[in-house]
A = this chain, B = another copy of it.
Amino acid sequence: MSLTDAQRAEIAAHASETTPTRRPTVPSLEAMLYAPQNVLDHGFIRVIDYMGDDSAIVQAARVSYGRGTRKVSEDAGLIRYLMRHRHSSPFEMCEIKFHVKLPIFIARQWIRHRMASVNEYSARYSILDSEFYLPAPEHMAAQSEVNRQGRGSVLNGDDAAEVLNLLRQDAMQTYSHYETMLDAENGYGLARELARINLTLNTYTQWYWKVDLHNLMHFLALRLDPHAQYEIRAYAEEMLKVLHAWVPQTAKAFEEYRRGAVTFSASMIKVLRRMLAGEVVEVADSGLSRREWDEMMAVLREQS
């Protein structure tokens, strides 16, 4: 991550002020506030603001007049209940705002989550920095042979280096031409909104992104999944840490009932009943496709 000194100073000035508030406050999240957490080679997430905590969920679910808290154990129980039964509205009562720096191809996946608010740095209005994402060698992987939208084995060192070279050279050349197009004195003075179309999809952009807790967990459930593209998973992993710092009871319930949970189809439930009754079930008479069977067996055999 490459922040200028001016940016570091802005962040430091922002972070140093403290004022008293009567709102719910979460010390472990306050400690993280404003500080960029590195993601990928030049990206980051940083928490800019938040509203609510675990007990705000309880308070809303009970439509209560006070803080909602009876005992910590009762609150935790209610949160687990709400998560388990997918009562999502109380989780909408907490809100968080991030500043995120991310490559454009990841921004294009991220923005598909519509239940959030976004302000993106405008390349019609301003000039983008010369920063682009280059995968680390261990993430430079071949096309998967079993999954049409995934990665297979890692490229060998020479191939990885050569691909990296192509990516770096093309990004640098297109950026250099972008500058030439923009330059009114020694170049062409082209409109910013046009010049930017020459940039590659690994160019970094940044935005403010605000989301409620329910939709944040929906984002995390999808983007922490092993089938999500590695680069967006890297952001989700960092945001999961924020979740644990912010709403620890909710985060635990999320791990138990969402992230670690598995949904079995109607046919899988029938297979399960037969297996538990001692029957040896084969894929051929299971009513499942080969792929579903394999997925189910993988879940049942996995070591925890």
- Chain B nearest CB from A195 CB (Å) reads 8
Contact with B along A113-152 (1 / 0, CB 8 A): 0110111111011000000010100001111100011111
B163 touches A174 (CB 8 A): no
Size bracket of the A interface? 35 or more
Whole-angstrom CA separation of A180 from B299 in the bound complex: 38
Copies of the chain in the assembly: 4
Contact with B along A285-304 (1 / 0, CB 8 A): 00000001000000111101
A92 touches B63 (CB 8 A): no
Whole-angstrom CA separation of A257 from B265 in the bound complex: 5
Whole-angstrom CA separation of A150 from B284 in the bound complex: 42
Which interface residue of A61, A150, A194 has the most chain B CB atoms within 10 A?
A194
B117 touches A193 (CB 8 A): no
Chain B residue nearest to A273 in the complex (CB): B300
A18 touches B7 (CB 8 A): no
B22 touches A18 (CB 8 A): yes
Whole-angstrom CA separation of A93 from B22 in the bound complex: 21
A21-B18, A22-B30, A159-B188 given as contacts; is B121 within 8 A of A63 (CB)?
A: yes
> Could you list which residues of chain A lie within 8 angstroms of chain B, going by C-beta atoms?
3, 7, 9-11, 13-15, 17-25, 30, 33-34, 48-52, 56, 59-61, 63-67, 84, 89-90, 92-93, 95, 97, 99, 103-105, 107-108, 111-112, 114-115, 117-122, 124-125, 133, 135, 140-144, 148-152, 155, 159, 162-163, 166-167, 170-171, 173-174, 177, 180-182, 184, 188-194, 196-202, 206-208, 210, 212, 229, 255-257, 259-270, 272-273, 275-276, 292, 299-302, 304
Given A108-B108, A143-B184, output 9 extra A-B contacts at Cβ < 8 Å.
Answer: A21-B21, A51-B95, A60-B119, A92-B117, A95-B95, A103-B197, A142-B184, A197-B201, A261-B264
